[in-house]
Amino acid sequence: MDIPREDPLAAVSPLDGRYAGRTAPLVPYASEAGLIRARVRVEVEYLLALADESGVDLDLSAAERADLRAVVDDFSAEDARLVKRLETEGAEGYAATNHDVKAVEYFLRTESPERLHPWIHFGLTSEDVNNLAQRLLVKPAVEEVLVPELRDIRDTLAEEAREYRDVPMLARTHGQPATPTTWGKELAVYAARLATAIGRVEGAAADLSGKLAGASGTYAAHRAAYPDVDWRTFSREFVASLGLEHTALATQVNPCDDLAALFDALRGVNNVLLDLDRDVWLYVSDRYLGQEAAAGETGSSTMPHKVNPIDFENSEGNLSKANSDLTFLADYVTTSRLQRDLSDSTVKRNVGAALAHCLIGYSKTAAGLAKVVPNERIMREELENTPEIVGEAVQTILRREGDTAAYERVKELTRGERVTIENFRDLFDDLDVDESVREELSALTPAGYVGYGGDLVNELDEAK
Together in a domain, 356 and 394: no
Q: How far is CA 341 from CA 97, 194, 329, 338, 419, in A?
A: 19, 37, 16, 8, 69
CATH assignment at residue 359: 1.20.200.10
CATH assignment at residue 48: 1.10.275.10
Using alpha carbons only, what angle is made at residue 230 by residues 229 and 232, rounded to the nearest 5 degrees?
Answer: 140
Q: Where does the pLDDT of residue 433 fall: very low under 50, low under 70, confident under 90, or very high at 90 and above?
A: confident
Answer yes or no: is 332 within a domain.
Answer: yes
Together in a domain, 155 and 293: yes
The pLDDT assigned to 294 comes to 55
CB atoms under 10 Å from CB of 128, counted, come to 28
Answer yes or no: is 184 within a domain.
Answer: yes
Q: What is the pLDDT of residues 95-122, one digit of tens each?
A: 999 999 999 999 999 999 999 999 999 9
The domain tally of the chain equals 3
Asked about 300 being catalytic, the answer comes back as: yes
What residues have CB less than 8 Å from 151, skipping those under 6 apart?
198
What residues have CB less than 8 Å from 285, skipping those under 6 apart?
309
Q: What is the pLDDT of residues 1-16, one digit of tens each?
A: 677 766 776 677 888 7
Residue 235 has pLDDT above 80, yes or no: yes
Together in a domain, 243 and 111: no
The pLDDT assigned to 457 comes to 95
The 8 Å CB, 24+ separation contacts for 376-381 are: 376/167, 378/286, 378/287, 378/288, 379/167, 379/168, 379/169, 379/170, 379/183, 379/288, 380/168, 380/447
Percent of the chain with pLDDT over 70: 95
Q: Where does the pLDDT of residue 128 fall: very low under 50, low under 70, confident under 90, or very high at 90 and above?
A: very high
Together in a domain, 159 and 277: yes
Answer yes or no: is 171 within a domain.
Answer: yes
Range in 177-191, 290-304, 346-360, 370-384 with the lowest mean pLDDT: 290-304
Together in a domain, 73 and 168: no
Together in a domain, 158 and 295: yes
Together in a domain, 281 and 406: no
The pLDDT assigned to 9 comes to 66
Q: Where does the pLDDT of residue 296 fall: very low under 50, low under 70, confident under 90, or very high at 90 and above?
A: very low
Together in a domain, 310 and 398: no
Helix, strand or coil for residue 397?
Answer: helix
Q: Are 183 and 169 in contact (CB under 8 A)?
A: yes
Q: What is the pLDDT of residues 442-455, one digit of tens each?
A: 999 999 999 999 99
Q: Where does the pLDDT of residue 301 fall: very low under 50, low under 70, confident under 90, or very high at 90 and above?
A: very low
Asked about 174 being catalytic, the answer comes back as: yes
Percent of the chain with pLDDT over 90: 76
Q: Where does the pLDDT of residue 304 fall: very low under 50, low under 70, confident under 90, or very high at 90 and above?
A: very low
Answer yes or no: is 452 within a domain.
Answer: no
Answer yes or no: is 460 within a domain.
Answer: no
CB atoms under 10 Å from CB of 210, counted, come to 26
Together in a domain, 192 and 134: yes
Among the listed residues 156, 446, 459, 452, the one whose alpha carbon sits nearest the alpha carbon of residue 280: 156
Answer yes or no: is 153 within a domain.
Answer: yes
Q: How far is CA 245 from CA 210, 321, 386, 404, in A?
A: 6, 30, 57, 62
Annotated active-site residue in 61, 174, 301, 436: 174
Mean of the per-residue pLDDT values for the chain? 91
The pLDDT assigned to 242 comes to 97
What average pLDDT score do residues 48-57 get? 96
The pLDDT assigned to 410 comes to 86
CATH assignment at residue 432: 1.10.40.30
- Domain hosting 83: range is 23-119
What residues have CB less than 8 Å from 120, skipping those under 6 apart?
43, 47, 105, 108, 109, 112
What residues have CB less than 8 Å from 11, skipping those under 6 apart?
17, 18, 20
Q: Are 125 and 214 in contact (CB under 8 A)?
A: yes
- Domain boundary among the residues 342, 376, 410 is at 376
Q: Where does the pLDDT of residue 293 fall: very low under 50, low under 70, confident under 90, or very high at 90 and above?
A: low
Among the listed residues 376, 459, 458, 389, the one whose alpha carbon sits nearest the alpha carbon of residue 418: 389
Q: What is the pLDDT of residues 156-180, one digit of tens each?
A: 999 999 999 999 999 999 999 999 9
Answer yes or no: is 18 within a domain.
Answer: no
Annotated active-site residue in 13, 300, 324, 345: 300
The pLDDT assigned to 462 comes to 73
Distance separating alpha carbons of residues 282 and 296, to the nearest angstrom: 25
Q: Is 256 exposed, middle or buried (0-12, 13-18, 19+ CB in 10 A)?
A: buried
Q: What is the pLDDT of residues 359-399, one digit of tens each?
A: 999 999 999 999 999 999 999 999 999 999 999 999 999 99
The pLDDT assigned to 403 comes to 87
- Domain boundary among the residues 119, 149, 180 is at 119
Together in a domain, 28 and 143: no
The pLDDT assigned to 303 comes to 34
Answer yes or no: is 194 within a domain.
Answer: yes
Q: What is the pLDDT of residues 212-222, one digit of tens each?
A: 999 999 999 99
Together in a domain, 370 and 425: no
More confident site: 333 or 262: 262
Together in a domain, 52 and 173: no
Residue 434 has pLDDT above 80, yes or no: yes
